[in-house]
Amino acid sequence: MYRFTLTLAKIIVRLFGKVEVQNKHLLLKNEGYIVTCTHRGWLEIVILGMCIPSPIHFMAKKELFQNKIVGSFLKKINAFPVDRENTSPSSIKKPVKLLKAGEVVGIFPSGTRTAEEVPLKRGAVTISNLAKAPIIPALYVGPRTLKELWNMKKATIIFGEPIYIKTNNKEELTVYTELLNEKTKELEQQI
């Protein structure tokens, strides 16, 4: 279902919009990694899926899975639920397992869709550290809705250098979260 949905999305986006990808060469091959991205709408999920050659397993808020039809569809396109309010060790087991198996995990470190800058949560860095998998920061700038895409608004996605987390110290995880935030802001300067 992931490939079918992605193919359909590619057709729609290419018919009505334009996508520019920068630094695609920074994406890793043959190893699992976390891709983090700004989360201002739902379209960046589709664009990320189009730009990254491997299927992405997105962490999504558990509320999206409460509707059986929507939840079933999300699971078929590799999304999995996470409880943002009550984070527990069980909520990081799945992404760690996926990363260790060489998969790509998509995380929006702001924890929610927002047009404003908010402090990043530490989840991506914690998962990266536990799985010994790098984080590739990404920045999406472009249409947030299908209507904006119809108006031929250009979408740009830029990838940053991989960040390797090397610590077992909780305080240092906060420093790495700040580093991820800085690297994401640096990507804004490149667009």
Q: CA 9 to CA 29: how far, in whole Å?
A: 23
Question: What would the pLDDT profile of 11-61 be if each residue is shown by its tens digit?
Answer: 888 887 789 999 999 999 999 999 999 888 778 888 899 999 999 999 998
% of the chain with per-residue pLDDT over 90: 55
- Name the one residue in this structure whose structure tokens are 């300067």: 189
Q: What is the mean pLDDT of residues 63-70?
A: 92
pLDDT of residue 35: 98
Check residues 54 and 87 and name the one with the higher pLDDT: 54
- Please, which pLDDT band fits residue 4 given cuts at 50, 70 and 90? very high
Reply yes or no on whether the pLDDT at 189 is more than 70.
yes
**Sheet of 18-22: strands edge to edge?**
18-22, 154-159, 135-141, 33-37, 104-107, 56-61, 80-82
Task: Tell me which amino acid residue 30 is.
Answer: N
User: What pLDDT does residue 55 have?
Assistant: 96
Distance CA 190, CA 187 (A): 5
Q: For residues 13 and 173, what is the distance between their CA atoms, to the nearest angstrom?
A: 37
Tokens standing for residue 146: 């299908």
Output the pLDDT for position 73.
Answer: 93
pLDDT value of position 118: 46
What would the pLDDT profile of 95-152 be if each residue is shown by its tens digit?
999 999 999 999 988 655 444 454 456 789 999 999 999 999 999 998 887 777 777 6
Cβ count near 152 (within 10 Å):
10
Question: Residue 71: how many CB atoms within 10 A of its CB?
Answer: 17
- pLDDT score of 16: 76
Question: d(Cα 186, Cα 183) in Å, to the nearest integer?
Answer: 5
Q: What pLDDT is recorded for position 14?
A: 80
Q: Can you read off the two tokens belonging to residue 153? A: 């608004």
Identify the CATH number of the domain defined by range 2-190.
Answer: 3.40.1130.10
DSSP symbol at 115: S
Confidence at residue 114, expressed as pLDDT on a 0 to 100 scale:
47
Please check the confidence at residue 88 and state whether its pLDDT lies above 90: no
Q: What's the confidence (pLDDT) of residue 113?
A: 44
The predicted structure's pLDDT at residue 120: 54
Dist. CA 114–CA 116, nearest whole Å: 5
